[in-house]
């Protein structure tokens, strides 16, 4: 027996214009993300700089707007000067965050080149673990100042006459975590971040800065950390970061697919803290959120089970199933629902390391199940997020009550004269008879109804079976008098694209 659910979305009830940067990604010097991921000079598809063109083609197809780099935990021990200048002079160093050997073949300039080839922007991170104000301001000078100073002229001598003009910068990474090189208290970090922010903006007043929030809502210092850090940095930063990862290690799929409700509450909590500090300071400035690490993450194959000091060891290479793709779809819808305050977000990570794209050394590149909701959101989730009014059958799970079987939102793209409905059916046993009321747009017609489904919610792709779980356009959505009718298959991701007649 089918479940029932409805969505009402009116073009006059706008949540927010969506900042395309919520479909960003993350590449860290971790595992095979850089070496054997985006960069493999001996690969048949490698370009003149050693970048894999097959990976570049896929990244361009995603239209990724921004990529966070170079970390992550890596950045807290990174001397950026090691990664610039002649390759022969760059040191090989012991990389403590991931117990690997860093060759520094890829550094700031090479990544800037890759980003241009990928048609994306760079969200640069500075080291506030082992370093601080001086290294950060010098890096901004090196990257963004045109010429006539020591570090800008050094960049020019390295073959880059034009500045990179990186706009967005992260002030360290997860500085509350005991795993972090140079862990700090909130007061220690807040003071350093604020003074670093001031110096960086004195070099380039056009940049925008992201302060470190908690490493996750489960940290004992969560909320107090944000309040203290923002009390110290509010006037000199534009964003505070959120990080969150989810898994289904308990093999409870219903509970797992409800975890986007946790993400929703996390976002609401951080917004509340931002607004508390704003009120406390009697400020007119609105602070925004950068959810710059989020994903499904299972594996524990970290440095403890890998020989130490390897170059690009295979770390955290999760293989994702259909249920993981559905969870990713729910997370993306949650980000769209909060587009008014979440202006940037990065799926972590992009290639090989807990990633939607996986490469084989010397061989093929293949797409994980999670690639597809990310692709669809990045392509069709651009425009204005509309307030969703949802009625749905519900269920209770281990950690959540009144979980709607339907998770959905509608996005209006005025320029393209389209409306796109994104919908996840969380039910494992039944389809949903779905009705969307979009009558405020007048007559509409269905362009296509994309469905990602499989009988087995645990089904996944591999390098040898790359299309086992792949989307099709065989969904049966219809439109009549401004309403959309569809049957959403059990445990499925759905994208219903509509044109406004």
Task: Compute the chain's Rg from CA coordinates.
Answer: 23
- Per-residue model confidence (pLDDT) at position 305: 55
Q: Within this chain, do residues 185 and 254 fall inside the same structural domain, yes or no?
A: yes
Q: Within this chain, do residues 369 and 397 fall inside the same structural domain, yes or no?
A: no
The reported pTM is: 0.97
Q: Within this chain, do residues 487 and 394 fall inside the same structural domain, yes or no?
A: yes
Q: Within this chain, do residues 162 and 265 fall inside the same structural domain, yes or no?
A: yes
Q: For the chain, list residues with pLDDT below 50.
A: 303-304
Residue 14 domain-assigned (yes or no) = no
- For the stretch 302-338, pLDDT in tens is 544 578 999 999 999 999 999 999 999 999 999 999 9
Tokens matching residue 149 = 């100073």
- Per-residue model confidence (pLDDT) at position 299: 75
Of the candidates 238, 215, 219, 218, the one whose C-alpha atom is nearest the C-alpha of residue 286 is: 238
Query: Is the CB of residue 316 less than 8 Å from the CB of residue 354?
Result: yes
- Pairing type for strands 432-437 and 483-488 reads antiparallel
Q: Residue 256 sits in a domain of what CATH number?
A: 3.20.20.80
How far apart are alpha carbons 322 and 453 in whole angstroms? 7
Q: Within this chain, do residues 368 and 400 fall inside the same structural domain, yes or no?
A: no
Q: Within this chain, do residues 279 and 391 fall inside the same structural domain, yes or no?
A: no
CA atoms within 13 A on the CB side of 322: 24
Got the DSSP string for 94-107? Answer: EETTTTEEE--SS-
* Annotated active-site residue in 102, 110, 141, 174: 174
- Identify whether 293 is a catalytic site residue: yes
How far apart are alpha carbons 274 and 268 in whole angstroms? 10
Tokens matching residue 105 = 């073949």
Alpha-helical segments (H) within 168-288: 186-203, 224-233, 253-256, 260-280
Select from 317, 345, 380 the last residue of a domain.
Answer: 380
- Pairing type for strands 406-413 and 384-386 reads antiparallel
Got the DSSP string for 424-439? Answer: EE--SS--EEEEEE-G
What is the span of the domain harbouring residue 496?
Answer: 3-9+386-500
Residue 143 domain-assigned (yes or no) = yes
How far apart are alpha carbons 270 and 264 in whole angstroms? 10
Alpha-helical segments (H) within 238-385: 253-256, 260-280, 322-337, 371-380
14 contacts: CB under 8 Å, gap ≥ 6: 384, 385, 386, 387
Q: Within this chain, do residues 347 and 453 fall inside the same structural domain, yes or no?
A: no
- Per-residue model confidence (pLDDT) at position 370: 98
Nearest 5°: phi and psi at 79?
-95, 105
Q: Within this chain, do residues 192 and 271 fall inside the same structural domain, yes or no?
A: yes
Q: Which residue has the tokens 């409905």?
A: 421
Q: Residue 420 sits in a domain of what CATH number?
A: 2.60.40.1180
Select from 319, 352, 380 the last residue of a domain.
Answer: 380
* Annotated active-site residue in 36, 226, 293, 323: 293
Select from 335, 351, 380 the last residue of a domain.
Answer: 380
- Per-residue model confidence (pLDDT) at position 442: 96
Q: Within this chain, do residues 229 and 301 fall inside the same structural domain, yes or no?
A: yes
Query: Is the CB of residue 186 less than 8 Å from the CB of residue 144?
Result: no
Q: Which residue has the tokens 């991701």?
A: 493
How far apart are alpha carbons 138 and 120 in whole angstroms? 24
Q: Within this chain, do residues 280 and 399 fall inside the same structural domain, yes or no?
A: no
- Per-residue model confidence (pLDDT) at position 307: 87
Please give the tally of structural domains in the chain.
2
- Per-residue model confidence (pLDDT) at position 301: 54
Q: Dihedral, CA atoms, 384, 388, 394, 400, nearest 10 degrees? A: 60
How far apart are alpha carbons 147 and 159 in whole angstroms? 13
């Amino acid at each position: 027996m089918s479940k029932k659910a409805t969505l009402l979305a009116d073009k006059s009830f706008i949540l927010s214009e969506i900042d395309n940067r919520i479909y960003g990604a993350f590449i860290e010097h971790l595992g095979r993300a850089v070496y054997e991921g985006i960069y493999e000079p001996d690969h048949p598809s490698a370009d003149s700089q050693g970048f894999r063109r097959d990976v570049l083609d896929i990244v361009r197809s995603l239209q990724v707007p921004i990529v966070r780099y170079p970390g992550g935990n890596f950045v807290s021990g990174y001397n950026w000067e090691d990664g610039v200048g002649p390759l022969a002079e760059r040191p090989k160093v012991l990389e403590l965050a991931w117990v690997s050997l860093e060759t520094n073949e890829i550094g700031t300039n090479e990544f800037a080149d890759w980003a241009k080839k990928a048609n994306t922007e760079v969200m640069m991170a500075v080291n506030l673990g082992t370093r601080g104000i001086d290294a950060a301001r010098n890096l901004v000078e090196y990257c963004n100042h045109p010429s006539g100073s020591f570090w800008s002229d050094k960049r020019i001598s390295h073959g880059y006459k034009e500045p990179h003009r990186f706009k967005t910068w992260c002030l360290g990474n997860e500085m509350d975590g005991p795993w972090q090189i140079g862990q700090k208290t909130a007061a220690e970090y807040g003071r350093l971040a604020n003074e670093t922010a001031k110096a960086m903006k004195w070099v380039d007043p056009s940049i925008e800065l992201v302060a470190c929030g908690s490493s996750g809502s489960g940290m004992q210092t969560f909320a107090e950390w944000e309040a203290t850090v923002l009390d110290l940095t509010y006037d000199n930063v534009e964003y505070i970061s959120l990080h969150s990862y989810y898994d289904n290690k308990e093999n409870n799929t219903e509970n797992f697919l409800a975890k986007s409700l946790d993400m929703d509450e996390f976002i609401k909590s951080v917004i509340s803290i931002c607004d508390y500090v704003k009120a406390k300071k009697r400020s007119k400035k609105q602070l925004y959120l950068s959810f710059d690490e989020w994903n499904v993450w299972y594996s524990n194959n970290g440095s403890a089970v890998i020989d130490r000091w390897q170059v690009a060891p295979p770390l955290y290479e999760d293989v994702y199933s259909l249920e993981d793709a559905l969870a990713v779809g729910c997370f993306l819808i949650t980000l769209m629902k909060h587009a008014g305050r979440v202006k940037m977000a990065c799926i972590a990570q992009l290639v090989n390391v807990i990633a939607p794209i996986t490469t084989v050394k010397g061989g093929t590149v293949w797409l994980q199940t999670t690639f597809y909701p990310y692709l669809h959101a990045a392509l069709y989730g651009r425009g204005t997020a509309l307030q969703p009014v949802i009625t749905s059958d519900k269920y209770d799970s281990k950690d959540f009550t009144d979980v709607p079987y339907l998770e959905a939102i509608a996005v209006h793209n005025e320029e393209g004269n389209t409306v796109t409905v994104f919908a996840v059916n969380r039910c494992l046993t039944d389809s949903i008879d779905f009705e969307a009321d979009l009558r405020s747009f007048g007559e509409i017609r269905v362009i296509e109804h994309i469905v990602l489904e499989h009988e087995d919610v645990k089904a996944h792709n591999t390098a040898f079976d790359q299309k086992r779980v792949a989307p099709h356009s065989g969904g049966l959505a219809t439109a009549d008098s401004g309403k959309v009718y569809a049957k959403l298959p059990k445990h499925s991701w759905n994208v219903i694209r509509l044109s406004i007649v």
